[in-house]
Structures are given as structure tokens and as C-alpha cells.
Amino acid sequence: MRVLILGKGRVAKAINYYLKKNKAISKIAFFSNEKQVKNFDILIGALAGEIGEESLKLALKYKKNLIDLTDLEPEFYLKKKKEIEKRGIIVIPGCGFCPGLVNLILGYELSKQKNVKEIEVKAGTLSSKKFFFPFLWCFEDLILEHRIPSWQIISGKKVKFPPFAGYQKEIFSGIEAETYFAESELEYFAKNYEIKNFKFRIIRPFGFFWFFQYL
């Protein structure tokens, strides 16, 4: 299998690192121009949010299957559903950490547990060094993530919260951190499984809130 990675940031480089360990993959390359696309079997999208839609556009144009790690609204892919089916390609979106791994964990647990009425998800970044904030993905996306409101499900109703609402100091594995409500795009779990309370709290190193205010 020949794999073309769209993007060349930290996430893209991590993908490249692990793909090299897979003997079933004969060729791996980072995208540089459209002429490359026809020479690969599958595309992996690892683009920043503001240009993330380009991954699906390329997949549709060249009829290539796509695994997309870009953090885009589910509606973007749903609007393209008919076109994806017409082109006969497979598109798997939301394949990062969150959305991605968290979705798989939630889906698995909900398939095993019945009558779940309340869920609180905590996901994000920790730092073993005090006041050190590791940027593991696109800096622009990180800023945007903390500037938009979030929707949480409270008593069966969608409630809008401003950025950093619900601030809490917490400790995970002995490491100081802070959490707050954030946009997750996971609210559909509440609708599909009739969950009355669904909250998503993003984890950040302790002091991140004040660091962000400085920015």
C-alpha cells in the first residue's frame, strides 16, 4: 500500500513515524503537489482546521480513500455524502485523539452499558513541567478552540457556554491541571442514546488559562 500524508506538522510526522513500522506499506510521502496524488492508494489528512477541507476535496477529485485526522464539523462530511458515494471512495473522518479515539471509547462503552444517563468526558494535554505548555498540534487551531463557545447537554437540553466556563483546578496522576467546558462535537452521543447530561471538559496544564489571557 502507498500512503500520501497531507500536512507536515507534528501530527503528520508522528503518523509517518508509525507507518514506517508497518511492513504492509511500501511507500510513504508527504504531499507537495497534486501530481503526486494519482501515484498513491490512500490519503491521510493531517491539515490545520482552516485548510482541513482540502483533504476531502483531493480525495474526491482523484477518487482516493481518505483517513482524515483534521478537526472538522461532522456536517461538512455529511453534506458531501452523496458525492463520496458517487465517487466510490471510503472516507473515515475524525480519526485523531478527540474527536477520534474518544469517540471509539464512548461508542464501545455505550454498546456494553445500558440506560446510561450521564457522561462527563475529560480529554486534553498534561505537562510534567510546571507552567510549560506543549503545543502538539496546529497553534492556530489551539487558539480558535479556546475562543469559541461550547454546547453541553444539561437535563436533556443543549446549553451554550462561553470559553473557559466551568473552570476547575484538578490533579491527574499527581500532575496539576485545569479543566473547563469546551466544544467537542460529541453531543450526538446524547441524542442517539438519550443521555440527559453530557459534558465535555478539556484538560490543560495548570496556568494555561492565564497564559491564554496574555496571548
Q: What's the pLDDT tens digit per position in 155-186? A: 989 999 999 999 999 999 999 999 999 988 77
Closest CA to 44 of 28, 32, 33: 28
Domain membership of residue 163 as a residue range? 114-214
Q: Give yes or no: residues 88 and 118 share one domain.
A: no
Q: Give yes or no: residues 71 and 125 share one domain.
A: no
Q: Give yes or no: residues 128 and 81 share one domain.
A: no
- Taking the whole predicted model, whether its pTM rises above 0.95 is answered as no
Residue 103 belongs to some domain of the structure: no
Q: Give yes or no: residues 167 and 77 share one domain.
A: no
Query: Residue 158 has what DSSP assignment?
Result: E
Query: Residue 96 has what DSSP assignment?
Result: B
The per-residue pLDDT for range 106-158, each reduced to its tens digit, is 889 888 888 889 999 999 888 888 877 766 666 777 777 788 899 999 998 99
Domain final residue pick, 92, 124, 154: 92
Residue 206 belongs to some domain of the structure: yes
Q: Give yes or no: residues 8 and 64 share one domain.
A: yes
Q: Give yes or no: residues 203 and 121 share one domain.
A: yes
Cα angle value 177/94/13 (rounded, 5°): 75
Count of the separate structural domains present in the chain: 2
Q: What is the CATH number of the domain that holds 202?
A: 3.30.360.10
Kindly state the cell numbers that stand for 134. 506543549
Residue 102 belongs to some domain of the structure: no
Residue 195 belongs to some domain of the structure: yes
How far, in Å, CA of 152 to CA of 107, rounded? 18
φ/ψ region of 94 (left if φ > 0, alpha if ψ in -120 to 50, else beta) reads left
Residue 12 belongs to some domain of the structure: yes
The per-residue pLDDT for range 65-116, each reduced to its tens digit, is 999 988 777 788 889 999 999 999 999 988 877 777 888 888 898 888 888 8
Residues ≥6 apart with Cβ < 8 Å to 146: 163, 164, 182, 212
Indicate if the pLDDT at residue 43 is higher than 80.
Answer: yes
Q: Give yes or no: residues 136 and 185 share one domain.
A: yes
